[in-house]
A and B are shown apart, each in its own frame.
Chain A
Amino acid sequence: MSSPQSFLNSPTVKLDHVTQRFRVIQERPDTLRELFSKFLRHEVSYHDFDAVSDLSLQVPHGQMLGLIGRNGSGKSTLLKIIAGVYRPTSGRVQVRGTLAPLIELGAGFHQELTGRENIMLNGLLMGCSREQMNAREQRIIDFAEIDEFIDTPIKQYSSGMQTRLAFAVATEVDPDILILDEILAVGDAAFQQKCFARIENFRRAGKTILFVSHNMNQITEYCDRVIMLDRGKIVSDGSAAEVVETYKHLTVPELANAG
């Protein structure tokens, strides 16, 4: 265990030349029959591509880092590597502190279970104990504003209610690192406001936040630093204003070229 000082000074997230290579196989054989027929006809066509390519990144303690880039630029893959969902093909990943990934809302939700049961299940999935979750249950219910529906199976919830519940669970488990992947696009304006107020609290408490959004206003308003990804590489890294500006200039001509 390192001392408090070194903990504060060293980066929370550190990636060293990380590459995540995927092999795209058209029609990967899903069954043995397909495998045999492919094998007999020598039909295995594929190409490799790097979703994240030789990427190095350090995120200091307490920073709110925005990730921008077009679809398929590697943002989600990068977040999944940091969250420990993917093991990268090569490179080194260091993450210090507990982590709450909100890569997709309600990933651990089971539709047949009630809100209350899902709070527990979701917390346990993030590695919390039953005791910890019992203590946090009421605060989660309050924040999500679903008091009267808490013992109803969540398949009867609206998508907005599920979003609120998922956000409430992820932020109430008090992680050191919060990963938000385009999840705040859902929910009404009032709840979004509330979410950002909570994110603001997280920042003040010195937590690290990784934030993906296509909403440049949100990015400029909240992020201390922004990186722009393209084809799995960081092409721009700096203050929110700078990088968002570059992004706007870059995407417009590229879109024109593509058209």
Chain B
Amino acid sequence: MFNLLPLKHRATSGGEGLAAAHIALEFSGLTELIRNTYHYRELIWALALKELKVRYKRSVLGFLWALLNPALMMGVLTIVFSTILRFGLPHYAIFLLSVLLPWTFFSQSLSYSVESIVGNGDLIKKVSVPKLVFPIAAVVSNSINLFLSLIPMLLLVLLMRHPLYATWLYLPVPMAALIIFTLGVSFFFAAANVYYRDISHILQVVLSAWFYFTPIIYALDFIPANRQWIFKLNPIIYVINGFRLAIYYGQLPRWSSVAASFVCAFVALGIGLAVFRKYQDDFVFYV
């Protein structure tokens, strides 16, 4: 099998005229990258909806699965943890699900976006389109799922007679941080997987290890105080904690914790964008 690789790029592209911009924008600075991607926002939305549509096509209940899926999962977990495995925590199912939902969003988004460039290779080889739209669309389609899964979450809270705290109104804040963080990590893995397809397999292992090292099925308090610092190095813990405090405890996180969640999110976004931008022009030769 032969493979084509480009040599190092030295080309410059002209910036005058209408679609000289069209070509130039692919190859120049970060603001251009963002502006160009923003120009294709309707495409991002259409791709995200397409993702959902294709996922639920051919099923009798169709889009309803986006609601039913988390609802059924919640049902199973609730039965398991309120009858079979009983922990010392009241309403453990809510304790668990309040952070399992954002975690599921995070891991699903990554699983989708890691394949997003390679999976759209045919398209990238034929149409000049900002490559960033593909991982973004993967994250957006999973964001829709995350929003929808809050409906069964709300029903569960009412059904289990867990107090419905006003702090639910705070949820958009951790959600924003979570989506920014997820975008950054997604960009990185989407780009890396173009070069080595092992990345998508490695990612699955990383995600399951990451799951157990994040206080999802347990609380950070369960960890001996002298070892908690290790867990605090985990960048996703701050944002995850915001969800649990708001839904389960009815509390707002401390300012320092909110700040930490946004610092982690923007650092991840910065790294992800920088890596993606550096390699995006070469994707076409590897997909």
Interface residues of A (CB under 8 A from B): 2, 7, 14, 18, 20-28, 30-33, 35, 46, 48, 80, 83-99, 101, 103-104, 107-108, 110, 112-113, 117, 120-121, 124-127, 129-130, 176
**Are A94 and B5 CB-contacts (below 8 A) given A14-B14, A113-B50?**
no
> Could you tell me if B7 and A130 are in contact, using CB atoms closer than 8 angstroms?
no
Query: What are 25 A-B contacts with C-beta separation under 8 Å?
Result: A18-B11, A23-B6, A24-B2, A24-B4, A25-B2, A27-B3, A28-B3, A28-B5, A30-B196, A31-B198, A32-B198, A48-B7, A87-B281, A88-B9, A88-B11, A89-B8, A92-B13, A93-B13, A93-B23, A94-B20, A107-B126, A108-B126, A110-B54, A120-B46, A121-B50
B1-38 CB mask vs A (1 if < 8 Å, else 0) is 11111111111111011111011001100000000000
- B26's closest neighbor in chain A, by CB? A84
Q: Complex Cα distance A46/B4, Å?
A: 10
Per-position contact with A for B188-209: 1 when CB-CB < 8 Å, else 0? 0000000011100000000000
Contact of A92 among B11, B46, B47 (CB under 8 A): B11
B7 touches A23 (CB 8 A): yes
User: A99 to chain B: which residues have CB within 8 Å?
Assistant: 19, 22, 128
Chain A residues with CB below 8 A from B3, complex form: 24-25, 27-28
A contact residues around B128 at 8 Å (CB): 83-85, 99, 101
Find the residue from A21, A93, A95, A108 having the highest chain B CB count within 10 A.
A95
- Contact assessment for A127 and B39 in the assembled complex, using a CB-CB cutoff below 8 Å: yes
A82 to B7 alpha-carbon distance, docked (Å):
18
If the complex has contacts A25-B3, A31-B197, A35-B196, are A94 and B9 also in contact, measured as CB distance less than 8 A?
A: no
A92/B39 in contact, CB under 8 A: no
Is the C-beta of B53 less than 8 angstroms from some C-beta in chain A?
yes
Contact A127 B1 (CB under 8 A): no
| Total contacting residues, chain B, CB less than 8 A | 47
Tell me if A95 and B22 are in contact (CB < 8 A): yes
User: How far, in whole Å, are A143 and B109 apart by their CA atoms in the complex?
Assistant: 39
Chain B residues in 8 Å Cβ range of A127: 22, 39-40, 129
**Which B residues are in CB contact (< 8 Å) with A89?**
6-11
Pairwise interchain contact B17-A96, C-beta atoms closer than 8 A? yes
B126 touches A104 (CB 8 A): yes
Interface residue? B127 (CB, 8 A) = yes
Question: Can you add 15 more A-B contacts, CB < 8 Å, to A104-B126, A107-B127?
Answer: A18-B11, A31-B198, A46-B5, A80-B125, A94-B16, A94-B17, A94-B20, A95-B20, A97-B18, A97-B19, A103-B127, A108-B123, A110-B50, A113-B53, A113-B54
CB distance from A176 to the nearest CB of B (A): 8
Residue numbers in B under 8 Å from A108 (CB-CB): 123, 126-127
Give chain B nearest CB distance to A27 CB in angstroms: 6
Top 3 closest pairs, chain A to chain B, by CB: A96-B17, A84-B128, A94-B14
In the complex, what distance in Å separates the CA atom of A94 from the CA atom of B54?
A: 38
Choose among B10, B16, B26 the residue that contacts A2 (Cβ–Cβ < 8 A): B16
Cβ–Cβ < 8 Å partners of B2 in chain A: 24-26
- Which chain B residues lie closer than 8 Å to A117 at the CB level? 50, 53
What's the Cα separation between A32 and B5 when bound, in Å?
Answer: 17
Using CB atoms, name the residue of chain B closest to A121. B46
For B196, the closest partner residue in chain A by CB is: A32
Give min CB distance, B47 to chain A, whole Å: 8
A133's nearest neighbour on chain B, judged by CB, is B42
Q: A86 contacts which of B7, B10, B284 (Cβ < 8 Å)?
A: B284
The reply to whether B198 and A96 form a contact with Cβ atoms under 8 Å apart is no
Chain A residues whose C-beta falls within 8 Å of the C-beta of B39 in the assembled complex: 127
Q: How far is the CB of B149 from chain A (nearest CB, A)?
A: 24
Contacts of A23 in B (CB 8 A): 4-7
CB distance from A125 to the nearest CB of B (A): 5
Q: Which of B5, B122, B127, B285 has the most CB of A within 10 A?
A: B127
Chain B 44-68 interface mask (CB, 8 Å, partner A; 1/0): 0011001001100100000000000
Q: Are A21 and B6 in contact (CB under 8 A)?
A: yes
In Å, the complex CA distance between A48 and B53 comes to 44
Shortest beta-carbon distance from A169 to chain B in Å: 12
Shortest Cβ distance from A193 into chain B, in angstroms? Answer: 26
Known: A31-B197, A84-B23, A104-B126. A22 touches B6 (CB 8 A): yes
Q: When the two chains form the complex, which single residue of B7, B23, B50, B124 contacts A95, counting CB atoms closer than 8 Å?
A: B23
Q: Contact: A103 with B126, CB < 8 Å?
A: yes
- Closest Cβ neighbor of A50 among chain B residues: B7
Residues of A within 8 A of B27 (CB): 87
